[in-house]
Amino acid sequence: MSTTFLPCGTYHEYYAEDHGWWQTKFIKAKMALLFIVLFIGIPLVADEYWLSVCNTVGYTILGALGVQLLIGFCGQVTLGHAAFLAVGAYTSTLLILEFPWPQFLINAGLAYPISIFIAAIVAGIMSVLFGLPSARVKGFYLILTTMAAQFIIVDFLITQYVSQIGGRGQAFSLPPGTIKVGPWVIDSDLKVYFMMLVLVIISIIIMINLLRSRVGRAWVAIRDNDISAEVMGINVVKYKMLAFFVAGFIGGIAGAFWISNLAAISPEHFPWVWSLWLVGVILIGGVGSIHGTVFGSIFMVVVMEVLQLIIMQLLDMGFVWAEPLFMDFLFIKEAAFGLVICGFMIFEPNGLAYRWWQAKNYFNLWPFSY
């Protein structure tokens, strides 16, 4: 794409080439290396603990992609995205537990993959439903209407009604062996890790392809100025709804994926704070950047893990005062989150993606500075 620095002698005769992926050998080699690290390097090196950290990163990426799409590319501020993750997770769980699947589908291990897809669609539709007010309201008002999704879906519908299905009480437990993809029963962090990689890659491909097409350009036009977008002939409401659908769709994938990592799901897995957290991820990563979503997710998850490790280290070293920190880590985590957001807003308002871009430019512009 035009944002990439291309070496001298690289030119395009057609728009398809102009928008092509990985246009130079250097980028191809770089991406090959990345895939080797992801598919071979990390599984070989990482232990169970770090694999689970990676899985959390992947879950955060899947969740944040939708938020990035809405806020970063379409300019629709959302603070209720966790609700659609919940819709995805519950749809998938209910389908697995309650739906009368034909035996051959269960044997083939297709029940869970199909449920992911259906969950994504259901979440997408719910997202559109709660996105409808965006046709009328903007900014702060939209924040409030999206927050309504959280309260109506999670706190009301799921807690009060959906959770009662099957008479299990609050939590749905997922018996071992029910989460099966093809011949593989997803029962270890390593298997979850590979599933996460595949889903993250598919979701990112969907996002990038949408963004470099007419749809993506329409979204960006709406983000930059919805009135001029409309004047240019873009059906603003239609594209806003499409943005909500795709965001909900990817959110549904995220939720449906996450149940593979859990023994049981309950509404507490999808608190309102998680919506806020996802917004924080894209602010830190960089608004309006796919790279930023990934960087932000890695940063937020890994920083919190490292913080926890430091506190544990302090305990091991015999600092008694660290004990309450450890006990109340959940609150420490939220305090740290607040601080990090403040710090980023002040010192790095363009996010990590901008740093990355600058670092690349340092070498692209070598031996000059512009």
Partner 1 sequence: MQHADNMHVNDKEIPKELTIPKLFYEKANSYGSQKVAMREKEFGIWRPITWQQYFDNVKHIALGLVSLGLEDGDKVSMIGDNRPEGLWAEMAALCARGTGVWLFQDSLIDEVKYIVDHSDTKFLFGEGQEEVDKALSIYNECPKLQKIIWDDPKGMRNYHQDYLISLKELIARGQDLDQQQPNLFKDLVYKGHGDEVALLFYTSGTTSLPKGALLSHHNMLTMGKHLMMVDPCHANDDYVSYLPFAWIGEQMMSISCGLQIGYTINFPEEPETSQENIREIGPHVMFAPPRMYEQMTRSVQVKYLDATWSKRKFYELASKIGYHVADLRFNKKPVSFHWKVLEWFAYAMVQKKLKDHLGLSRVRNAYTGGAAMGPDHFRFFHAMGVNLKQIYGQTEVAGISVVHRKGDIKFDTVGKPIPGTDVKITEDGEIITRSPSVFLGYYKNEEATQEALRDGWLHSDDKGFIDDDGHLVVFDRTKDVFTLRDGRPFSPQYLETRLKFSPYIKDSWVIGDKRDYISAVLCIDYSVVGKWADEKKLNYTSYPELSQMPEVYDLVQKQIKQANQDLPEAARIHKFTNLYKELDPDDDELTRTRKLRRKFVEKRYEDIVNALYADNDTVHIDTTIKYEDGREAHIKTDLSIRMLEN
Binding-residue total with partner 1 (CB under 8 A): 19
Using CB under 8 A as the binding rule, the residues of this chain from 248 to 267 that contact partner 1 are: none
Task: Specify the residue, 103 or 369, whose C-beta has the smaller distance to partner 1.
Answer: 369
Task: Specify the residue, 13 or 316, whose C-beta has the smaller distance to partner 1.
Answer: 13
Angle at 355 between CA 353 and CA 361, to 5 degrees: 105
Of 2, 44, 103, 183, which lies in the binding site for partner 1, with binding defined by CB under 8 A? Answer: 2
**Min separation Cβ 125 and partner 1, Å:** 37
Binding window for partner 1 (CB under 8 A); candidates: 8-16, 72-80, 303-311, 341-349: 8-16
Tokens standing for 186? 């997803």
How, if at all, do strands 264-265 and 180-181 pair?
A: unpaired
CB 85 within 8 A of CB 157: no
Rounded Cα distance between 89 and 120, Å, is 9
Of 169, 183, 233, 367, which lies in the binding site for partner 1, with binding defined by CB under 8 A? Answer: 367
Using CB under 8 A as the binding rule, the residues of this chain from 10 to 69 that contact partner 1 are: 10-15, 17-18
Task: Specify the residue, 216 or 251, whose C-beta has the smaller distance to partner 1.
Answer: 216
Task: Specify the residue, 7 or 324, whose C-beta has the smaller distance to partner 1.
Answer: 7
**Min separation Cβ 3 and partner 1, Å:** 13
Burial track 161-176 (b if 16+ CB lie within 10 A, e otherwise)? ebbeeeeeeeebebee
Tell me if 9 contacts partner 1 by CB under 8 A: yes
Task: Specify the residue, 136 or 360, whose C-beta has the smaller distance to partner 1.
Answer: 360
In 132-273, the DSSP E strands lie at 172-173, 180-181, 184-185, 264-265
Burial class, 341, CB count within 10 angstroms (exposed 0-12 / middle 13-18 / buried 19+)? middle
Of 4, 7, 22, 164, which lies in the binding site for partner 1, with binding defined by CB under 8 A? Answer: 7
Task: Specify the residue, 11 or 321, whose C-beta has the smaller distance to partner 1.
Answer: 11
Q: Which amino acid is at 130?
A: F
**Min separation Cβ 349 and partner 1, Å:** 23
Rounded Cα distance between 339 and 26, Å, is 38
Tokens standing for 106? 């269960």
Q: Select from 74, 185, 79, 192 the least CA-distant residue to 142.
A: 79
Using CB under 8 A as the binding rule, the residues of this chain from 306 to 365 that contact partner 1 are: 365
Task: Specify the residue, 26 or 156, whose C-beta has the smaller distance to partner 1.
Answer: 26
**Min separation Cβ 260 and partner 1, Å:** 44
Tokens standing for 145? 């209407």
Please report, as ranges, the residues that interact with partner 1 according to CB under 8 A. 2, 6-15, 17-18, 365-370
